[in-house]
Amino acid sequence: MVLKKLTEASGIPGQEKEVRDILKAEIDGLVDRYWVDPLGNLLAVRGDRGPRVMLAAHMDEVGLIVTHIDQKGGLRFSKVGGIEDQVLVSKRVLVGKDRLPGVIGAKPVHLQNHGEREHPIRSDDMYVDIGAKSKEEAERLAPPGTAMVFDTCYEVLDERIVKAKALDDRAGCAALLEVLKEEYDLTLCVAFTVQEELGLRGAGVAAYALMPDMAVVLEGTTCADTPGAEENEWSSQLGKGAVLSYMDRASVSNRRMVEEMTRLGREQGIHYQFKRTTAGGNDAGRIHLAREGVATASVSIPCRYIHSPVSVMSLDDSDSVVSLVKAFLKSVEGGFLPND
């Protein structure tokens, strides 16, 4: 299953090659041409008539990078992307291209003073233990600049519920591949982008190169329908379908595109919901500002516990995203324009 391959691949921002290679193999034969730009985006085009519609999903995931090695061989690190310190300690990680197993360590509770016990351990006070016996051995195995990702396997929790790392946004990448399996009478521009987790960096470059008339971002978004959260705090709900958004901190969705997607959802029985919060942002934030501006909207898969070592999603929600994006592209074929 492609989602399993994608989520178990390593790809922190700036080091997405392993993910990109999987996607290159998957799109071969589904597009007219593809290429990798200087930043690392995987771009593709299919067709040469009608409106230019861009579909985007980012390849990178949150993770860690080695910044220093102490005298005992502990790997000091920086977070790459937004990760809360409290989800890190004692987690297993995979280090570097050889996927060396490691554990995030910190001072044990027995040795902490009263003040330390009352506050979460800071990532600056953690290190990764790969079993190295010396600084020299650790430097040979994992020199500064080495990427580290969470050691999490893709697994089915229930018939249609899965857990994995990096569902933000490998779930979007997998959904985009499914959309590509159908033909559309328009010019389809595809962007698997880099460095989204560090400020949407790849998306602006991709949109500038592809020059789309409109764009749809496929994303894994926050889902907070969990114990302890009030209903008004739920950003989205697992199993309730594709997530549409009017705005977030990075962009305001094109209103006509959102209205068209809701119409299609109602008429074709495709499950959808609206994001109830405006926190966060995705590649739409850069795409809609490219060149003279691009009409842009996001269609997202709700994922619990994103930006952590493990996330949870429903395959039914992913299917809803695929169906809604396909229906929207067919609507564009039929003459829909975002600025009428």
Q: Is 118 a catalytic residue?
A: no
Specify the 3-state DSSP secondary structure of 7.
helix
Q: How many Å apart are CA 54 and CA 37, to the nearest integer?
A: 16
The active-site residue, picked from 196, 197, 219, 260, is 196
Q: Give the 3-state DSSP-derived string for 176-225, with helices as H, strands as E and coil as C.
A: HHHHHCCCCCCEEEEEEECCHHHCCHHHHHHHHHHCCCEEEEEEEEECCC
Q: Which two tokens stand for residue 122?
A: 């800071």
| Residue whose C-alpha is closest to residue 243's, from 146, 317, 156 | 317
Sign of the torsion angle spanned by Cα atoms 297, 299, 304, 307: negative
Tokens 């697994």 found at: 155
Tokens 């594709």 found at: 242
Please say whether the beta carbons of 159 and 22 come within 8 A: no
Residues marked active site are found at 196
